[in-house]
Every structure is written in structure tokens, then in C-alpha cells.
Amino acid sequence: MDIFDLPMVQDLVRQAFAEDVGAGDLTTQLTIAPEARARAEIATRESCVVAGLPLIRTVCELAGGGVEITECVAEGTDVGPGDVLARLSGPAHVLLTSERVLLNCLQRLSGIATLTARFVAAISGCGCRIVDTRKTTPGLRVLEKYAVRIGGGFNHRMRLDDGILIKDNHITAAGGLTPAVAAARVGAPHGMKIEVECSTLAEVAEALEAKAEVILLDNMSIETLSRAVRRIGGRAIIEASGGVTLDNVRAIASTGVDIISVGALTHSAPAIDLHMTLFLE
Amino acid sequence: MDIFDLPMVQDLVRQAFAEDVGAGDLTTQLTIAPEARARAEIATRESCVVAGLPLIRTVCELAGGGVEITECVAEGTDVGPGDVLARLSGPAHVLLTSERVLLNCLQRLSGIATLTARFVAAISGCGCRIVDTRKTTPGLRVLEKYAVRIGGGFNHRMRLDDGILIKDNHITAAGGLTPAVAAARVGAPHGMKIEVECSTLAEVAEALEAKAEVILLDNMSIETLSRAVRRIGGRAIIEASGGVTLDNVRAIASTGVDIISVGALTHSAPAIDLHMTLFLE
Amino acid sequence: MDIFDLPMVQDLVRQAFAEDVGAGDLTTQLTIAPEARARAEIATRESCVVAGLPLIRTVCELAGGGVEITECVAEGTDVGPGDVLARLSGPAHVLLTSERVLLNCLQRLSGIATLTARFVAAISGCGCRIVDTRKTTPGLRVLEKYAVRIGGGFNHRMRLDDGILIKDNHITAAGGLTPAVAAARVGAPHGMKIEVECSTLAEVAEALEAKAEVILLDNMSIETLSRAVRRIGGRAIIEASGGVTLDNVRAIASTGVDIISVGALTHSAPAIDLHMTLFLE
Amino acid sequence: MDIFDLPMVQDLVRQAFAEDVGAGDLTTQLTIAPEARARAEIATRESCVVAGLPLIRTVCELAGGGVEITECVAEGTDVGPGDVLARLSGPAHVLLTSERVLLNCLQRLSGIATLTARFVAAISGCGCRIVDTRKTTPGLRVLEKYAVRIGGGFNHRMRLDDGILIKDNHITAAGGLTPAVAAARVGAPHGMKIEVECSTLAEVAEALEAKAEVILLDNMSIETLSRAVRRIGGRAIIEASGGVTLDNVRAIASTGVDIISVGALTHSAPAIDLHMTLFLE
Amino acid sequence: MDIFDLPMVQDLVRQAFAEDVGAGDLTTQLTIAPEARARAEIATRESCVVAGLPLIRTVCELAGGGVEITECVAEGTDVGPGDVLARLSGPAHVLLTSERVLLNCLQRLSGIATLTARFVAAISGCGCRIVDTRKTTPGLRVLEKYAVRIGGGFNHRMRLDDGILIKDNHITAAGGLTPAVAAARVGAPHGMKIEVECSTLAEVAEALEAKAEVILLDNMSIETLSRAVRRIGGRAIIEASGGVTLDNVRAIASTGVDIISVGALTHSAPAIDLHMTLFLE
Amino acid sequence: MDIFDLPMVQDLVRQAFAEDVGAGDLTTQLTIAPEARARAEIATRESCVVAGLPLIRTVCELAGGGVEITECVAEGTDVGPGDVLARLSGPAHVLLTSERVLLNCLQRLSGIATLTARFVAAISGCGCRIVDTRKTTPGLRVLEKYAVRIGGGFNHRMRLDDGILIKDNHITAAGGLTPAVAAARVGAPHGMKIEVECSTLAEVAEALEAKAEVILLDNMSIETLSRAVRRIGGRAIIEASGGVTLDNVRAIASTGVDIISVGALTHSAPAIDLHMTLFLE
């Protein structure tokens, strides 16, 4: 089952149509004959990593179908200004109604893939992963995390039910880091590693003692990160997070952490400037 | 019916929970007693215009309810780093499960309101409106356009069915601008004005002749905009669009256009850095 | 995106099947072999304007598909008793299960189109539009307003969000007609005209002064309508409403109003007597 | 579980709001303060049997809640012009947004109850039931059949899965009336009676022979109906259908049939002219 | 409309995918090329009556489509260990994602059909029906009752709205069995028989007097059942229920009852051990 | 967010009502006054571990509400024949309509919890977990896995997206066990352990070499299991599966495996015989 066949993705596109089209495209209905046919090109006005091309089919099908689609580049390709991503041919009404829904999806996913690719490039050679967070747009989690993968990043847990991540509140409530890890270990599914968020080296030491399998170093300076990495010494996977930017990501990676998580990948990636040009036949 | 009571908004929040929580918050279930209670503060780490506060109630209700909410600032307030937006008190499980869904909504809506407010401030005194476009995030149209209003902007049409906007494709298909406007006028609901997109002064002249009630000047230079405004001479509402930035928006507004539409308001506003701090009781 | 491809229309037909079929057509299952094939004719027992033919495909697809459909008349055609609207051929089970859902849709839409056409015919030559209202059947708004268009009428606003119509309550709440129009103008999307409901000539005068773009004359006598039309003198679009019947509609149109809105089009049009005859093969 | 608590009824009202309100009531938002409160009266302009009053609560809750409702007459009461059905008090925005959805429901259900009551009155004393058919408005089956009951009528089967009704097509496919009844009897749930549609006295005789438990006399003249009733002689329940009007229903009932089914109850009942008056506080 | 085309069945399969696949089959995505193709065989490890084969198409379509399906046995066939039920050929990803959803459906439906067939065989020749109850798995009512039919059983009422079954609570509330039957008769749809639950012979006598059309003998000993059957003497259909097992069902049937209802058919049938073997191409 | 507040659980209960109630409880409507009140007791006729009590509130709320609920035992309690699980008090119509939906849920969840508890008891002291599989009833995954936890078992992965489990097909497709593990490691989220299914000791050796973190020993004899456990020597978590019964589970546990997965927990647990007794007031 392809991600674009998932019920939740199909539902999202239906919802996108519902909110964009309402009871119909008035202007098109009044000015273009129902039987008119057209060709269309989707192109970019800026450099980007393309993500979301398979949605073209989903969107056009839901808009009425009958559209022939030719992808001109592969998903994940690095393209430049003026490059054509796909060519479409079919009923003009279907193409025109699809336009905005399609571009709204592609410009966002490509924006995320592009920003992810920049982070990935910035740490090239460091042997470290860029991963996303749960800071995604409501309703778009699955697609946005897909775009991160297209951009060369990796996914952190998808939801609260597919990973154990013990944060300060859990530690306080459980009466300390050690008992929190113990409690988690008792009930955690056997396929999940236990990850603990640490803000100080003392916490790192305690997490190691408690045999945490992943240690999240939260908002530490480069120097403290380095010391934490040394102290951990390969006994746990190390994730760094907090205040990561394109400017400091390489320094962070150079400390030897395994994983760097970046919320901005999904919550602040600017949209790519895509457009669709129509040629009536 | 408040916007936050709309079926589609309730459905969006339910969907946000479904994708973030899945079968339950494993870590919290394993480390925090079900009967634990907590207080929480939602605060901002950067200056912003707050938007989305009424969603706190919606989210907490869907997460299980029983949360007392105190809004510390009014919707639309300009706040600064460290300011507390709201205080919550209730079951720790409900607060922890609500946290990410809540912040993901608020950080996005506040981001849009904040960017809108900057555009609005940039043209202060020009007697000109900043409006949004249909370039919104799939599924979030209604909320994002609400955030634009909170930021002091105005809404362009909500969907393809609540406005007539004749673009180049419609003009080509109808055999010219004049017949396109005529066709639209025949069938347009009597409460809608007919808007026509023009790229040249010649088109502006034809649109005026055809008695278009709104003229959209697309991607024109400041100089051409000025000439177009003079030529229209108050006979139509004038909208400018295309390539609008915080740097050039005041120059555009100074040409005398009535409306400036900015896609970036909704597709590229960076999220505001909000966080929730929990205090277990 | 054709109106019949809209998610909400597809959902309505699914709902119609759910409520009509439940767990299956017991009688047919017990008496007709699953592999039986049949032809069917949909015909009318009375004169009408046909509306809803494209739904045949939607309904038959949802009922299991495999039906060949031949439309014998075009959507909107004026037909007489005995005329065949469409011929179908396919699995007997699919045709029998589709029958009632199909006829229930067509008889209602054709009823609305037919009544609309009678109103339109009654004011022929008056240069005036017949429009519908929001007095539609819950769940059928989009289809019923479509049927009005098929009958030669026009649509008033589709929903509360795609038009500004200031009524007495708004006027009272805003402290008068003039401030109400002013308040509306401040926030109304720039593509919408402001319509004001007036019951007296004094209100008409005030509405003109406030530069209302559409004036709704509510429940006025023919004489008062005439005086209102003269007073307005082309400075606003004029809509008449209230107590409009086939008997008085021409007199109303003759006063010079631009638009006559008729609630009965959608809330009281009697169903057309259609039937489907099946021929087993 | 009250009919108005059924998931499908709740969903219908949500859908009615979605289609009527869209993204919000623009005019009210622009002209009435959010905190304004009002009282409202729902009254009728014509005589009718009231049906649908419990929906007031459902509708107001979905519109935002906080409305106090006083029903002034009981469901099913016969009221006259000017009578007030219910008084409401609450937030003005909630009342205004509820108005049209509420009236659209009540005017339709009351229309059906009223027409049903007229048919019931017309055969008063005949010991015969008026029943509805499956010719209902798509999506409203449950509510419309409820309104028939409120009007004093009875329900025929609700769906294709809760009754056995053998029609001409089933007879043809099964190779005759007798084998069709036999086939149905083999598989029919033991709590259902087998009903057979007959158009001639010969068919009636065959249906009796086959031990049909209900015989539907379709489109027979009064005289033929009388002869059929005599021939059946109490050995089966008798239903008459086809071309039933207020003019001929008593004659039909007088033939001694047990049940008269009338499609017009649900497909052609004109809406009752109800209105809501608002008093701002 | 085939049962597998019913909206509720399509929705159930979508829901089954949503809960089993979530955001995608991680292991398959990481280890198998998207374009890989495979063949698969669905076979049984134990004897059973096969039910649910038509779901293969539904499931594979929803999982992405492109699968060629060959059913090797007919629905309802009695098969033995090692027998192949169906062969599939198509994209490996689609087959792998479909596997668990498909088997979970088939193993349950076949389990029910198999258990039903054993009950049916146990009373072979007794002229008595095995019927199901409303004790079904939430969400699977329609499919489970279908499986009962495939196993040779019959369905009791599908829901609370398609049959009249008066139990002790109704009798108490109505002030006795006789008034309860009378009340039911007044309002029951004319196509439904009135069934009354009786626990004693006295109640049976009263039910006969009240002209109940079906009498449900609840939890009676074989001897009491026999006496009840004799007392009823063909004047009502007789259903026996309560504590029915494969051990006692023949004795119950031999008392002469018409119908035996067995809750275990649907609530306690063990799943059949089916498996799918994949052959990569 | 409690599991019973999850949108998918709420939807399941709504669906259960839709399929059980349809258009309403006919018998109750005809025989019991709408205002009647009653008390009810839910009790068990056999020993079991109770699971699902929190659903009582969910079900009664959806059925109309107004029910006071007193749980007489805690969730997960071991109860015996005749024990009362909960007492309810409220509108008779709400209680009667809730009865079957409620019992259908509770009897199934308690059946699963009870069977799980028997498996857990059977390996008491072995230091080994009983876990479930993905062989659950379509639509009930989350609730059934919850019942396993109530019975003292643990959950295996919830879905295909929250765990890596490499089976034979993945191994074949990837060109061997070692490359399959390598491929999985490249893309697996960092919080997930990689589990590999092995059928032979040679595969176990290869899996160890490939550094699989969990090894699933599939369908091995007790002797082979023991040898595999020794060979693994603590270097991976060990899961045993295939043909596990109450008879052999202790022997399997005694080999030293960490985890035993049992499909029967969810696919073949017989329902517990629960009933609800009503006392009208």
C-alpha cells in the first residue's frame, strides 16, 4: 500500500477539494465550455527538491479524471528555475479545478524536502542523521514526514504510540529518571528502544546507568554536547535537539551525535514557488 | 456559530489527534499515574500576534476534558518573548496528550497572524487592504484565513464558488476579455462583483470597457501599477498581486491600489516558537 | 470538477443507498439469480423539465457498476408523458437496487427544474431573473440549486459565507441601517456586493444613501414595489421577495425589479412522477 | 435511543450546517457583537401539524449551544396561523445561525405530518391505515417516516432489508408468482410476512393460493379493488397503492382494504410557512 | 447491490487498513523494491466452510489494486487442510500489505460459516432452521450474518428496527403480555410478525391467546419445549433459544420447534487457521 | 487521552449503534413509555477477567445519556459466576437500547482478557511475556490489544508502521537475511529494534551475525527452541511463535525465550456469557 493510497491521504485530498471548490468553480463554469480540453505544465520558479508528484494522479482522479500525466522528473530530483515537473493533458475543467489543490500540496511538500536536503547537505560526511519531529501541520503528518524522507532525512517517531520518549514531565511524575526508565521498560513493547531526554551531564550519567537505549541531548551547547558524547561512549544512540539551524548544524554533527532533530523542517519550511500553465486545445 | 464550532474545524482537530496519538501516548501511560493532575502554561519564546486561543478548549475537550483554561491575553494581542498566553489546569494525561496538537495549531496560526500584521503595518496609512489568497495548507483553509483576519488582514474569496475571478485561461477560452466578462455577467450571482486579471495596460483598458468591477493587476512594476491606477480612475476596485514582499509592499500600496494580495501570508509564514510547561501537582 | 463529482454529492448518494438498502435487497436476493441481466427504461408520466440525469452514472457505479447508460434526452429538456429519459443495461441486481435511489433523486430535481421553468416562463420578456433562496432541503442544497439553474433560474447566495445580506436583526443590532451597512463594508470581502433588506420606502431611501449595492424589497405590494423601483432609479440592483406565486410573479416583474426570489422553488416543488421499467434478459 | 440521537440524524444536521454556514455567517459576524444575546420565537403562518420540535435542541447544540428552549406546543399538535411553536433564548449568533437550518427541517417535517393527517382524516372511521413508501428525499428517510407517524400514519418497510415485497420483476425472474413466493419463503427471516404485488384478480387468486401473507393491489379501479377484497376474504392483509389522492382515498378505504400507501406523503408535501422572529436583548 | 459493495462494508475494510497499516508497511518499504511482483496462495490448515472470498477483491483494490485474483473454490465450499482457496498475482507491496487484513477477515467469516454448518448438520432432517442472534462483533454485523447464511443458517432480525420481539422487560413495562402484544400490534409495520419471548407454559398459553405470530421459548428444558410445541399446535412459529450447544441441538430440534437461535455462531466461533504464501517473481 | 476517548473508539461505538439500532428500537418504542426509568445490573454467568467497563459510559452517552453508572468491580478483576460488574440507573429506553451494544463489547473484551490471563498464569514464574499479534478482528485492533494488556499480556507492534519485523518474504526479496537486515537498518527509525523471523538454527546464526536485536523463532520444536536460546546467549531478545497452546506454552517458556506471541488471544477467544437484567421503576 503506497503512502498515497492510504485512506487518510485520500481523505485529505477530498477535504482539500471540499474547502477549495465548495459547490463548484463558478468562473470556469461560466467562461469555459465543459467539453474543452487542455494541456498543462507544472513548473518551478526556484531551485528545489521535488516532492509530491504521485499526488498529481490522486488529485486529478478526484477532480473528475481523464487526465494523462507525464512526470518529467523523478520524485526527489533537484530541479532549477523554469524546470518542468510534469505535463498534463485532459479536460480543461478538471485541470483548472485541480490546479490550486495540486500546487498547494506540491509547494509545501517540496518546500519541506528542499529544506531537509539543505540540512542533510550541511552535515554531509558526518555520519549523522537529520530527523523530523512531531511539530507538523495538523492533518499533514504522514505527507510531511514523507517529504522529509524524500529530502534525505529520516523520521523520528510518527506518533505518541510508536516510540518511548521520556521527557522531564515523565521523570518528575515517576519520581526520577531511573524509576521512569524502569517503569517504561516494564511495559514498553519489546521492539521499541527507550529514549530519555537529558539536559545536563548528570542526567546523561543517570540515563546511562538506567540503560536508556537512546539519549536525547536537549538544548546543549556544542561544548556540552561534545562532553556528553564522550561520556556516552557508544553505549547509547545519541540525538541532539533544540535550536538547530543551518548555521550550527554542522558543528552539532561534528560533536559525534548520531541524530539531529529539527522541528523547522516541517513547521517553518517556506513553500516553493510552483505554477501551472494551461494551454487550451 | 463560532468558527471553532464549525464541523470542519472539529473534524480537523479530531484528525490531528488521530495522527498524533494513534492508539495512545505510550510514554505517559507507562510513567504517569492516570489520576495525576497538573497545571500548564503556554508561553511564547518570540514576539508574535497570538491567534488560535479558542482552539485550546476544543483540543482539551477532545483529549478527554476536565481542563480549566485561563486565557492570559486576548486573541490577536501582540506579545513578546516569555509572555504567557494561557494557563491550564486538569488531568496530567489530558494536558500531555493535548500539548503537541495544541502547539502545532497555535504556532501556525500565530505565525500567519504575525506575518500578516507585519504586512499591514508596512502599509499603515495607505488606505489599502492586505488580503490572502487560496494558497493555503490543504485542510486548514478556514483556520488560516481566520488567522489572516486576526493579523489585521482581509480575506479574498474563500473558495472557487464564492467569487468570480477571470484569469488568462478563462479569457483565452472565452475568446477574449470582453466576451469572458460578458459570459460571467450572464450567470454570476447578483451579489458578486466580477474581477478580471490584467497583465498589461491594454487589458486594463479593455476590462474597464467591459465594466469589470474589480481589476487585478498581476505582476506589474511599480511604474506600470501607477499608470494603471490612474487610468482606472476610481471606476473599479484595484487589486495588486505577484511578488509582494515586506520590502516592496509599501511602494505598491503607494501607487493607490485598494488591495494587495499576498500568498506568503499562508504558505510561507514561519511557525512561532511556542511551548507548554507542565507543573505536576 | 463537475458538480456530480463533488465529495458532498458522492457522499449524499452513498447515504441514500445506506438508508434505502441497509444490509441488502432481500426480495431481489431471494428471487433473482445474481448473474441475471436486464435492460431498463426511465420514463416520465407527466410533463417536466428533466434534471439530474448525470446522477444515473453515479448511482449505478455505487450500486455495483457494470451498467451501460444511454441518455435519451439532454439534461434540461422539456419532456412529455411517456417520454423515455434514459435506457440502462446491466446486472439485474444493480438495476433493481439503483431504482428507488435514482428515481428519488430525479423526481425531486426534475420537480424543482419544472417549477422554476414555469416561473421563468411567467416573466418571459421582463428582463428579470428568478432566483432561489436558502430554503432548501437539508443535505440537498447543492443539487437543488443546480436544478434551479437547469430550470432557467439563477442562484442567490449558496451559503451564509458567500454573500452579505443585511436583514432587520442585523440593522437593529448595529443601531440602524446606515451603521449596519458601514460595518459590513469595513469587513466584507472586496468581491461581494452589500445587499440590504428593506420593508418601507424610508428604508429604501436610507439604503441608497448608505450606498447599498443591492436592495431587497421584502413583502411589498405591487404599488410600493413600483415606487421603490422608481426611487432607486438604477442606483442599486433590486430584488423582490415574499409571497411570490405563479399568479403574481409577472406583475412583480413588471415593476422593473431585477431579481425575484422564490422559496417555493426548492421547498415546495412537487415531485415529478417518474418510473423505471425493467426488462429481464 | 431517541430517533433524534441516532448517528445518522446527528450527521444530517451537521451536514445541513456545513452546507448552509460554510466558513461562517459573514453578515452576522460583521454587524452583531459576539456577546449579544437574543430571544426568538418560532411561529407558523398557516395551519399545520407540528413535527420536528426535538430537532431544535439538536440544531442549537451543534450551532454552539447555550440556548434555552421552551416548546409552546407538543410535537404533533394541530396549530393555526400565528401560533408560536417554541421560544428560544441565548446568544444572538447561535440563534441567527440556527434559524435557516432549523426552519428548513421543521417546515418539511411539518409539511409531511400535515399532509399525512389530511389523508388520515379523510378515511376516518374506515379502520384502514395510511402508510408511506420508499419515495422519500435522499438522506431524510428516517426523519420523513417519523413525520408520517406524527401525522397519524404508519410506516411501510424502512429499507429493502426489512421486508419482503415481491413485484412484477421478481415474479418474471423467478418464473411466475408461485415460484417467486416459494423462493422468498425459503430464505425470508421468520419474522417477516411475504407481500406480493398484484395487478389483476387472477394474480390475486394465485397469490392467495401461494399463501402470500400480504397482497398489494396496485393501481386497481375502485370496483376491482372491491372484488379483490371480497375474493381475499380475510386470508391476507390487503394494501392498496397507486394514484391515491385526497379525493379518492376514502373511496379506496371503503372497499375494505387494510392499508393504503401514498408516495406523495413524503415526495410532494409542500413545506409549511414557518418563521423565526428575533428580539435582541 | 452486492453485500460487499455496501458502503458500510467498504468503510470497514478501509478502517481495517487504517488500523493495520497506519502510515505504511515499514519493513516492506525498506526491504522490497516497489516494482517487485509476486504470486500468492491463500490456503487453509484445517477443514472449514470458506466464507468471505469476494472480500479479496475489495481488500486488494483498497491496497493499491493491480492484483489478478483466481478463486480456486466457490464461496461456501467445504475444504480440507492444505486446500488452496485463491491464487493472487500482482505487485508484491500490494499483496504483502493486503495479507493480514485479508486473512483477519476470511479466518473469522470462515470460522462462523464452519460453526454454523456444524449446527446445521447436527439437525439435518429435522426441518428446523439454525438462526443467528444480535450477539455479533461490533462493526461486523452484516458480514457475520452473511457468514451464517453461507454456513447454511438463517438470519434472525438484523437490527432493532426490522423485527418485533417482545421480551420480559417489555411485558413488565406494558403491564402484562397481553397488553404488550396489543400495543405492539397497534404500531407494528404490517409486514412484520410479532414475536414474544416466553419462559413458562403459562406464558405460552397467554401468547397464543394474544395471537402472537412467533413464540420464542427461552431456556426451557427439552421436556418443557416438547410440551410447549404440543400446546402451540401449529398456531405460531416456534423459536427455541438459550444454552444451545452442538451436544443438545438435535434434541432441541427433535421437539418440533421451527427455529433454533444460537449466539455462539457469531460470538464464539474460533478463527480458521488460514495463511498466505508469497512467491516473489 | 484515555483509550476510550480515542476518535476511532468513539467511531466504533457509533458504528455499533448504527448497525444494531438502525432507525430505532421498534419493540421498545411500542411497549415502553418514553419517560419510563429503570435500573439495570450487568453480571456474568461464568468466571472471567473483566475488560471494557469504561465503555459503559461511552455507550450510554451515545444512546442518549442520563445514565448513572456504578462500577462494582475494577477493570481487570477476576470475577465468578453471578458477580455483578456494574449497576446502571436511567431512562429505560436508553438502557434497553444500550444493552446489546454494551454486552457485545464487554463479552468480547472480557473473553480476550480471560484467555490472556490463562496463558499468563500458565507461564507464571518463567520471566517471559505473553504478547498478542496482528491477528485481530477488523476494526477492533486497539480495543482487543487493550484487553490483552488487561489480562496481563503485552502488545506486539500495533501496526505495520511501528515495528520492523523481517519475514521470509522480505529475506527472499532482499537477497538474503544479512542484506535484509542491512537494508532495514539503513532506514529504520532510530527508536525501533530490528526483529528477524528465523525457522532454522542456521538462520538464527545469520541473524546474530547481522546484529538483529530481536529474533523470532517460528514454529520450532521445544528442543530446537532450547538450542536456539542457548546459541543466542543473551545477544538478542527472543520471541517464540507458532502453534502455541495452553498445553505447550509452559514448555516453550521454559526454554528461556523472552516473549511468546499467541494469535488465539485475539482471534479465537470465546465470548464471556454476560447479561444485563433490567428493573423498571
Instruction: DSSP for C19-72, please give it.
Output: HHHTT--HHHHHHS-TT-EEEEEEEESS-EE---TTHHHHHHHHTT---EEEES
- Measured between CB atoms, does D66 come within 8 Å of chain B? no
CATH 3.90.1170.20 residue ranges for chain C = 3-117+270-280
With a cut of 80, say whether residue F50 has pLDDT above it. Answer: yes
Query: Of C20, C31, C139, which has the smallest distance from its Cβ to D173's Cβ?
Result: C31
CB neighbours of residue C74 within 10 Å: 8
Angle at D136 between CA D130 and CA D139, to 5 degrees: 140
Query: Of E5, E8, E158, which has the smallest distance from its Cβ to C64's Cβ?
Result: E5
- Measured between CB atoms, does B25 come within 8 Å of chain C? no
Q: How far apart are the first and last CA of chain B?
A: 36
- The whole-angstrom separation of Cα C215 and Cα A63 is 37
Quote the pLDDT of residue E2.
Answer: 83
Quote the pLDDT of residue C280.
Answer: 87
Query: What does DSSP assign to residue F159?
Result: S
Kindly report the nearest CA distance between residue D59 and chain B, in angstroms: 11
Of C99, C144, C195, C197, the active-site residue reads C197
Q: What is the mean pLDDT of residues F8-27?
A: 94
- Measured between CB atoms, does B62 come within 8 Å of chain F? yes
Contact indicator for B2, B57 with CB cutoff of 8 Å: no
Quote the pLDDT of residue E281.
Answer: 82
pTM of the model: 0.96
- Judged by CB atoms closer than 8 Å, whether chains meet at A165 and F191 is answered as yes
Strand (E) or helix (H) holding E102: helix E92-122
CB neighbours of residue C201 within 10 Å: 14
How does pLDDT run across A48-64, given as a tens digit for each residue? 999 999 999 999 999 99
- Judged by CB atoms closer than 8 Å, whether chains meet at F134 and E100 is answered as yes
Q: Which residues of chain B does C191 touch, with a Cβ-Cβ cutoff of 8 Å?
A: 156-157, 162-165, 192-193, 195, 214
- The whole-angstrom separation of Cα F173 and Cα E80 is 31
- Judged by CB atoms closer than 8 Å, whether chains meet at C191 and B195 is answered as yes
- Judged by CB atoms closer than 8 Å, whether chains meet at D191 and E193 is answered as yes
Q: Which residues of chain A does C160 touch, with a Cβ-Cβ cutoff of 8 Å?
A: none
Q: How far is CA B205 from each of CA B195, B200, C34, F15, rounded to the nearest angstrom?
A: 14, 9, 66, 60
3-state secondary structure of D166: strand
- Please name the amino acid found at residue B150: I
Q: How many CB pairs under 8 A join A and B?
A: 223
C-alpha cell at D126: 374506515
- Measured between CB atoms, does C62 come within 8 Å of chain E? yes
Q: Could you identify the residue written with the cell 467569487?
A: B163
Quote the pLDDT of residue A195.
Answer: 98
**CB proximity under 8 Å: D 140-159 to F:** 141-142, 145, 158-159
Kindly report the nearest CA distance between residue A17 and chain E, in angstroms: 20
| Candidates E12, E29, E61, E99, partner chain A, best to mutate (most A CBs within 10 A) | E29
Rg over CA atoms, chain F:
23
Q: Could you identify the residue written with the cell 411539518?
A: D110
Q: Could you identify the residue written with the cell 481487570?
A: F76
- Measured between CB atoms, does F23 come within 8 Å of chain D? yes
Q: Which residues of chain D does F94 touch, with a Cβ-Cβ cutoff of 8 Å?
A: 1
How does pLDDT run across A233-281, given as a tens digit for each residue? 999 999 999 999 999 999 999 999 999 999 999 999 999 999 999 998 8
Output the tens digit of pLDDT for each of chain E's 281 residues.
788 989 899 999 999 999 999 999 999 999 999 999 999 999 999 999 999 999 999 999 999 999 999 999 999 999 999 999 999 999 999 999 999 999 999 999 999 999 999 999 999 999 999 999 999 999 999 999 999 999 999 999 999 999 999 999 899 989 999 999 999 999 999 999 999 999 999 999 999 999 999 999 999 999 999 999 999 999 999 999 999 999 999 999 999 999 999 999 999 999 999 999 999 88
- Judged by CB atoms closer than 8 Å, whether chains meet at E170 and F31 is answered as yes
- Measured between CB atoms, does B192 come within 8 Å of chain D? no
Query: What does DSSP assign to residue E256?
Result: T
Tell me which chain D residue has its CA closest to the CA of residue C23.
D161
ipTM of the complex: 0.95
Query: Of C192, C239, C259, which has the smallest distance from its Cβ to B192's Cβ?
Result: C192
How does pLDDT run across D199-258, given as a tens digit for each residue? 999 999 999 999 999 999 999 999 999 999 999 999 999 999 999 999 999 999 999 999
- Measured between CB atoms, does B7 come within 8 Å of chain D? yes
Q: Which residues of chain F does B94 touch, with a Cβ-Cβ cutoff of 8 Å?
A: 1
Please say if A161 is a catalytic residue: no
Give the mean pLDDT of chain A: 96
- The whole-angstrom separation of Cα E108 and Cα F139 is 13
Quote the pLDDT of residue C192.
Answer: 97
How does pLDDT run across D1-51, given as a tens digit for each residue? 788 989 899 999 999 999 999 999 999 999 999 999 999 999 999 999 999
With a cut of 80, say whether residue B56 has pLDDT above it. Answer: yes
- The whole-angstrom separation of Cα E256 and Cα F267 is 35
- The whole-angstrom separation of Cα D205 and Cα E27 is 68
Q: Rounded to the nearest 5°, which phi and psi values hold at A82?
A: 95, -15
Contact indicator for B22, A159 with CB cutoff of 8 Å: yes
Q: What is the mean pLDDT of residues D158-162?
A: 95
Quote the pLDDT of residue D117.
Answer: 98
Chains that touch A (3 or more CB pairs under 8 A): B, C, E, F
Query: Of A20, A30, A161, which has the smallest distance from its Cβ to B134's Cβ?
Result: A20
Q: From the first residue on, what is the mean pLDDT of each consecutive set of 10 residues in chain C (281 residues)?
A: 88 94 95 95 98 97 95 98 98 95 98 98 97 97 98 97 95 94 96 97 98 98 98 98 97 98 97 94 82
> Under CATH, domain A121-267 is a member of which superfamily?
Aldolase class I (3.20.20.70)
* pLDDT tier, B36 (very low <50, low <70, confident <90, very high otherwise): very high
CA-closest candidate to residue A183, choices B196, A172, D187 = A172
- Measured between CB atoms, does E33 come within 8 Å of chain A? no
- Measured between CB atoms, does A7 come within 8 Å of chain E? yes
- Measured between CB atoms, does F110 come within 8 Å of chain E? no
Quote the pLDDT of residue F280.
Answer: 87
Quote the pLDDT of residue D181.
Answer: 98
Quote the pLDDT of residue F281.
Answer: 82
Please say if E159 is a catalytic residue: no
CATH 3.20.20.70 residue ranges for chain E = 121-267
Q: Evaluate the CA torsion angle F23, F25, F27, F33 in order and state its sign.
A: negative
With a cut of 80, say whether residue A104 has pLDDT above it. Answer: yes
How does pLDDT run across B92-137, given as a tens digit for each residue? 999 999 999 999 999 999 999 999 999 999 999 999 999 999 999 9
Chains that touch D (3 or more CB pairs under 8 A): B, C, E, F
How does pLDDT run across F92-135, given as a tens digit for each residue? 999 999 999 999 999 999 999 999 999 999 999 999 999 999 99
| Candidates B169, B181, B218, B267, partner chain A, best to mutate (most A CBs within 10 A) | B169
* pLDDT tier, F279 (very low <50, low <70, confident <90, very high otherwise): very high
Chains that touch C (3 or more CB pairs under 8 A): A, B, D, E
Please say if A25 is a catalytic residue: no
Q: Which residues of chain B does D62 touch, with a Cβ-Cβ cutoff of 8 Å?
A: 5, 7
What's CA A20's distance to the chain center, in Å? 23
- The whole-angstrom separation of Cα E133 and Cα A27 is 56
Quote the pLDDT of residue F55.
Answer: 97
- Measured between CB atoms, does B18 come within 8 Å of chain D? no
Of C37, C39, C100, C149, the active-site residue reads C100
Active-site annotation of F, residues: 100, 135, 167, 197, 218
Instruction: Enter the CATH code of domain E3-117+270-280.
Output: 3.90.1170.20
Q: Evaluate the CA torsion angle E19, E22, E24, E27 in order and state its sign.
A: negative
Q: Which residues of chain B does D97 touch, with a Cβ-Cβ cutoff of 8 Å?
A: 1
Strand (E) or helix (H) holding B165: strand B164-166
- Measured between CB atoms, does D94 come within 8 Å of chain B? yes
- Judged by CB atoms closer than 8 Å, whether chains meet at A142 and E23 is answered as yes
Query: Of E155, E187, E189, which has the smallest distance from its Cβ to D189's Cβ?
Result: E155
With a cut of 90, say whether residue A2 has pLDDT above it. Answer: no
- Judged by CB atoms closer than 8 Å, whether chains meet at A2 and E62 is answered as no
